[in-house]
């Protein structure tokens, strides 16, 4: 009962603060609703970016991978810091100079409206079919397990999933659709503080449990007993081979932190470039500490449970139940609920923005005023949320979703990143190249990963079995050798796609070079310390890898 009361109390507190902070914001204008009136400061930007990124599929999924493979999976966290530094130095100044509301608006200016529409359509398809339902389902599984809702309400687990999915969906929709970006950002900031606090308590309590009451003894026992779990370099059989850091992993990170609407929209709402850069740098620094929350608990669970769990994705929930004192359960569930809400409402708010600005205003009603664009965007958001809430309960195998999501997201991440890179680095590559880049990038990735790969891998495994090879380790090695890791494929297709676009630009260059104009919507004077701070962050990431190598 105490846990439930504290859960409701903290959740209500966040809602009240978000309402008080946003009640005077003009939600009828595009800037007011979609970009919080271009008023966000560094702390709010950092908190909202981090909590948008951190949710249950990551907390549970990455810790599950760490349980199996050790800290090498921290690459998803630490390299994000470098990607944010690059975004702050090179991408954000260009975004704010142009006064963008959506990332794809740049593509309309650089190439043409069709390229922008294709990009927005890719984003919306990925959000609707994959990301929103996955967030709802994985979040509901976590909440159902933490509060044992089937027992509490005397219902089946399936019924509990449906109830929780709709509960999360409705509350998240209220924030995202009716509150706009500022309500999302403010609630994210509060929940980020709670999640960082609660998230750090889990490994602390876990290490104390290992050390029989001593944190220092727990650290010594964990590292001495499991040295193989503290290696930062993975071989080609790992989920994140070390070589992928120099190929597709960095590209995926650049897409996610630099061109993904749901993430970068917070920085687009900055009051000026300096605040946006400070927000990204703060988020990058905190991201370096991310493995303490989403990787280390998995290794602690491996030690405590002696590697006996049937499903590695049980590691984090089981650890929480074992080590977290009862009086913390309600608070931790509340901030975890906040993380789930954040990811859901952030994606939903970005979807509303993309539809309202890039689809409705551009193609359905070009004469629509700002208030009507916002209104139609909200209507689309409601329909999208309802669709996601219906689809989510039918998703199975939530524990494997993190790795699955990373691979599926390549369908739109690599082509979109390619078009942005070529768009910014060249001046005469024509509009037709942008459209071809989006379409060819997606089709080539789908063909590679979902048609060609299964054929080659299955043929290799069948030959191995015919030759009498049946042990798992050998079969895994054969599977890895049969086809490159999907992150290597991302790098190969990025280069192919870029080459196609550059070849088109060479043969049919645009008659006039592209010149970006300054719209003067915000001050673009950079933060004076952005370069030295960025350098320090990059050096820290490198030092971490060297230390654990």
* pLDDT 10s digits, 305-357: 888 887 777 788 778 878 888 777 777 777 777 777 777 777 777 787 778 87
- In a domain? residue 471: no
Pick from 136-140, 277-281, 387-391 the range whose average pLDDT is largest: 277-281
Q: Would you state the structure tokens that stand for residue 346, as one six-digit string?
A: 């952030």
Residue 90's pLDDT is 93
Residue 25's pLDDT is 52
- Total domain count, the chain: 1
- In a domain? residue 162: yes
Angle, in degrees to the nearest 10, between helices 401-408 and 56-69: 110
**8 Å CB contact between 222 and 534:** no
- In a domain? residue 485: no
Cα–Cα nearest to 175, from 31, 17, 332: 17
- Secondary-structure breakdown of the chain: helix, strand, coil percentages, each rounded to the nearest 5: 80, 0, 20
- In a domain? residue 282: yes
Q: What domain range includes position 130?
A: 30-405
Name the 3-class secondary structure at 509: coil
Above pLDDT 90, what percent of the chain? Answer: 27
Q: Would you state the structure tokens that stand for residue 543, as one six-digit string?
A: 């030092």
Following DSSP, what letter does each residue of 346-400 receive, concatenated? HHHHHHHHIIIIIIIIIII-TT--HHHHHHHHHHHHHHHHHHHHHHGGG---GGG
- In a domain? residue 445: no
Q: CA angle 517-416-98, nearest 5°?
A: 15
Q: Is 502 exposed, middle or buried (0-12, 13-18, 19+ CB in 10 A)?
A: middle
Residue 180 pLDDT > 60: no
Cα–Cα nearest to 483, from 512, 504, 467, 461: 461
Give the CATH number, domain containing residue 376.
1.20.1730.10
- In a domain? residue 511: no
pLDDT band at 20 (very low <50, low <70, confident <90, very high): low
- In a domain? residue 415: no
- In a domain? residue 436: no
Q: Would you state the structure tokens that stand for residue 349, as one six-digit string?
A: 């708010």
d(CA 401, CA 363): 35
**8 Å CB contact between 412 and 442:** yes
């Amino acid at each position: 009962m105490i846990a439930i009361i504290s859960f409701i109390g903290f959740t209500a507190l966040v809602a009240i603060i978000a309402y008080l902070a946003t009640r005077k914001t003009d939600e009828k204008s595009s800037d007011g609703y979609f970009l919080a009136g271009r008023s966000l400061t560094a702390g709010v930007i950092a908190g909202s970016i981090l909590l948008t990124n951190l949710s249950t599929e990551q907390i549970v999924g990455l810790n599950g991978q760490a349980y199996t493979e050790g800290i090498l999976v921290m690459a998803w966290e630490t390299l994000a810091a470098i990607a944010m530094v690059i975004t702050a130095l090179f991408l954000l100044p260009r975004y704010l100079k142009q006064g963008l509301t959506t990332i794809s608006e740049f593509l309309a200016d650089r190439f043409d409206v069709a390229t922008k529409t294709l990009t927005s359509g890719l984003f919306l398809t990925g959000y609707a079919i994959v990301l929103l339902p996955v967030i709802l389902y994985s979040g509901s599984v976590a909440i159902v397990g933490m509060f044992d809702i089937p027992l509490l309400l005397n219902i089946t687990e399936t019924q509990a999933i449906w109830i929780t999915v709709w509960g999360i969906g409705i509350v998240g929709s209220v924030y995202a659709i009716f509150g706009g970006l500022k309500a999302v950002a403010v609630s994210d900031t509060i929940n980020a503080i709670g999640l960082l606090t609660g998230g750090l308590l889990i490994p602390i309590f876990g290490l104390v449990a290992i050390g029989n009451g001593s944190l220092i003894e727990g650290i010594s026992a964990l590292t001495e007993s499991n040295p193989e779990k503290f290696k930062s370099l993975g071989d080609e059989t790992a989920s994140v081979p070390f070589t992928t850091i120099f190929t597709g992993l960095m590209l995926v990170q650049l897409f996610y932190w630099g061109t993904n609407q749901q993430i970068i929209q917070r920085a687009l709402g900055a009051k000026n470039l300096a605040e946006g850069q400070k927000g990204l740098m703060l988020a990058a620094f905190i991201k370096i500490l991310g493995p303490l929350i989403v990787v280390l608990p998995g290794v602690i669970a491996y030690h405590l449970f002696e590697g006996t769990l049937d499903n590695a994705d049980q590691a984090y929930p089981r650890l929480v139940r074992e080590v977290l004192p009862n009086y913390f359960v309600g608070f931790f569930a509340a901030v975890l609920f906040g993380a789930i809400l954040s990811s859901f409402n952030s994606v939903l708010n970005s979807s509303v923005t993309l539809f309202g600005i890039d689809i409705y205003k551009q193609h359905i009603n070009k004469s629509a005023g700002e208030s009507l664009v916002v209104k139609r965007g909200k209507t689309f958001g409601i329909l999208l949320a309802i669709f996601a809430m219906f689809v989510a309960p039918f998703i199975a195998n939530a524990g494997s979703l993190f790795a699955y999501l990373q691979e599926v997201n390549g369908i739109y991440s690599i082509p979109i990143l390619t078009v942005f890179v070529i768009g910014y680095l060249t001046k005469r590559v024509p509009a037709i190249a942008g459209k071809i880049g989006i379409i060819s990038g997606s089709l080539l990735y789908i063909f590679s990963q979902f048609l060609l790969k299964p054929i080659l891998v299955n043929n290799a495994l069948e030959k191995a079995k015919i030759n009498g090879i049946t042990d798992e380790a050998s079969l895994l090695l054969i599977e890895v050798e049969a086809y490159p890791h999907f992150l290597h494929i991302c790098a190969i297709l990025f280069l192919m796609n870029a080459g196609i676009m550059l070849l088109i630009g060479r043969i049919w260059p645009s008659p006039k070079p592209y010149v970006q104009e300054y719209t003067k919507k915000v001050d673009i004077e950079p933060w004076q310390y952005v370069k030295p701070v960025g350098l320090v962050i990059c050096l820290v990431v490198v030092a971490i890898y060297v230390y654990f190598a």
